[in-house]
Amino acid sequence: MQSSFVLDVALELPLGITIVFGPSGAGKSTLLDCIAGLLKPDTGRIEIGGELLLDVERRIDVPPPKRKIAYVFQNLALFPHMTVEQNVAYGLADMPAPQRASRVKAMFEAFRVEQLAKRKADEISGGEQQRVALARSLATSPQLLLLDEPLTALDEGLKKSIMEDLRRWNAAQNIPILYVTHSRAEVDALGERVIVLDQGKIISTGTPHEVLDAPRRSSLAQASGFENLFSGVVTEFRETDGVMRVRLVRGACEIETPLGHAAAGAAVRLAIRAGDILLATERPYGLSARNVIAGKIISLEQRGTMFVAQVAADTDGAAVFTVHLTLGAKRILELEVNRPVWLVIKTHSCHVLED
Amino acid sequence: MDALILSVRLAACVSVILLLIGMPLAYWLAYWNWRGKFLLEAIVALPLVLPPTVLGFYVLIALGPHGPIGKVSEALFHRGLAFTFGGLVFASVLYSFPFTVQPLIASFEAMDRRLLDASALLGASRSRTFVSVILPLSLPGIVTAVVLSFAHTLGEFGVVLMVGGNLPGITRTASIDIYDHVQSMEYAEANRMALVLLIISFVVLSAVYGVNRRIGRRVWASWAAR
């Protein structure tokens, strides 16, 4: 599998954090492994700060120990048989002892793990291990930091405080950081430059808002959390109103969307977030929302602190919409399976994608 | 008693030599991929299925005055290796090879590769990674390898008989001694030696499994529980 994977990217990293976002299997980890020298691409060139690390044509391939790249893996890969202190000092073997001791101390302070120095790496908590892994890889003064979904397993508070420490550290060091994640929430929280990777290709670059809130490709839409994806045909253009109408292929209902690049009669994909759809138990009037569709709840399922409802539109071939509700909304509206409801969707919540 | 001391000496020599040869070989087999690798793997496993007489026969020929190893030995030490302690060690090393190499390969392969990647990216050479990361984390596998080759050598019979013959104090190991006593209907003596061998084997094995389990628990358990 690995051998037939095609990763084809060209990117230049500015200083600071760049997020690599994409679904599982998009090639995110492969990209990092190639940059670190753990995988060798068939062809390519990698340069950091004017130093050539890889040029397949010219047969230059600097081995990983000499690349000056720090890499924090998803599983962190702390050495379990060593203490926290030994882990952090591992990359400083060439340094004279006094210098090494002061560097380790500085890293401990920057990532606030001093009190763990003598503990075994496998005896500390997940958040602590995360800090130690950062301290260990950054102790060597790398020229680039690669982070492979490092915070996925942590809760929000911990994530935030670790990211703050990393940012503070990098304010002084100022190196490029490549942060890989498949979590939309993490992208929003970090809020920096995003590169979207899908099937081994960069399909979009920009701020999270530019890149992810108006996706133009359906694979990207699925990746960035659009629960509702429909095939449709553009039936009408109303340029003066800045809208167009799209008839869903399944379900035969029409939905008003913002003007897109498509012409009338073109096949398009419609993406709507489950959290952007309102449910009403009576037909609503006097709303700015242009799309009001009658339907019936066909399933209702609690997921953590929310309900996920499937609502079938009352038209032939019934299009099914996924809707997210709070526990309170479900209780107050007395929603249950088979109850007739109205779906309310703002025009600007309907995203038109190139297929 | 001479026979027992000889057996223990032989087993100790063989396990030390095997560990020294087996580690680099197992490292190579575990982490390198090349086309002909399966052939080497088959050769390493061969002593598991080969009758001891077959292995013993070819080793005897090789060690003899006209065999390649015998000739080298003649040139260096002015004597052959057949029917000597050195010859026994050589034959036993071959015979116990898989018992050292296979546990080592298994524990090297079970290693989290990201630990090796992390070591490399922190600037460590392959040899430093081996000494600082692979060896300490493979301790259970290494202990298993040493004990299995020790116990296997202690109990071997066919190869020793073929290559060493039955020279008291030089090549008459405990298992041959037992066979000798049985042949001469000296069941009491045979029983004494057999019992000693049984007890030694059991004590060594249980001690090692006990230690191994403690090491294993310390190193792996909390790690796996993450």
d(CA A318, CA A258): 23
ipTM of this complex prediction, to 2 decimal places? 0.78
**Interface residues on A facing B, Cβ-Cβ cutoff 8 A:** 36, 38, 63-67, 69-71, 73, 75, 77-81, 90-91, 93-94, 120, 122-123, 126, 129, 136-137, 140
Average pLDDT, integer, range A112-133: 90
**Interface residues on B facing A, Cβ-Cβ cutoff 8 A:** 112, 114-115, 117-125, 128, 132-133, 136-137, 219, 222-223, 226
- Look up residue A67 and give its amino acid: R
Going by C-beta distance under 8 Å and a sequence separation of 6 or more, which residues neighbour residue A192? A16, A17, A18, A19, A207, A208
pLDDT in tens, B59-97: 888 888 888 888 888 888 777 777 888 889 999 999 999
pLDDT in tens, A172-199: 888 999 999 887 777 877 767 888 887 7
**In the block, residue with structure tokens 């050292």:** B100
Q: Is B195 a residue whose pLDDT tops 90? A: yes
Closest CA to A28 of A56, A5, A62: A5
Q: Which helix (H) or strand (E) holds A303?
A: strand A291-303
Going by C-beta distance under 8 Å and a sequence separation of 6 or more, which residues neighbour residue B50? none
Residue A2's pLDDT is 46
d(CA A49, CA B55): 60
- Look up residue A35 and give its amino acid: I
Per-residue pLDDT band at A48 (split at 50, 70, 90)? confident
Q: Which residues of A touch B122 (CB under 8 A)?
A: 65, 90-91, 136-137, 140
Asked if A65 lies within 8 A of B226 by C-beta distance, the reply is no
Structure pTM? 0.70
Q: Which residues of B touch A36 (CB under 8 A)?
A: 117, 121
Q: Is A142 a residue whose pLDDT tops 90? A: yes
pLDDT in tens, A186-242: 787 776 788 888 778 887 788 777 776 655 565 666 656 678 888 888 888 887 787
Cα angle A76, A82, A84; round to 5 = 65
Task: Give the HSE-up count for residue A85: Cα atoms under 13 Å, Cβ half-sphere.
Answer: 10
- Where helices occur in A45-149 by DSSP H, the ranges are 84-89, 97-110, 126-138
Mean pLDDT across chain B: 86
Tokens of A17: 């954090």
Asked if B223 lies within 8 A of A77 by C-beta distance, the reply is no
Neighbours of A28 (CB within 10 A): 24
Cα B129 off chain centre by: 25
pLDDT in tens, A283-311: 888 887 888 888 889 888 887 778 889 89
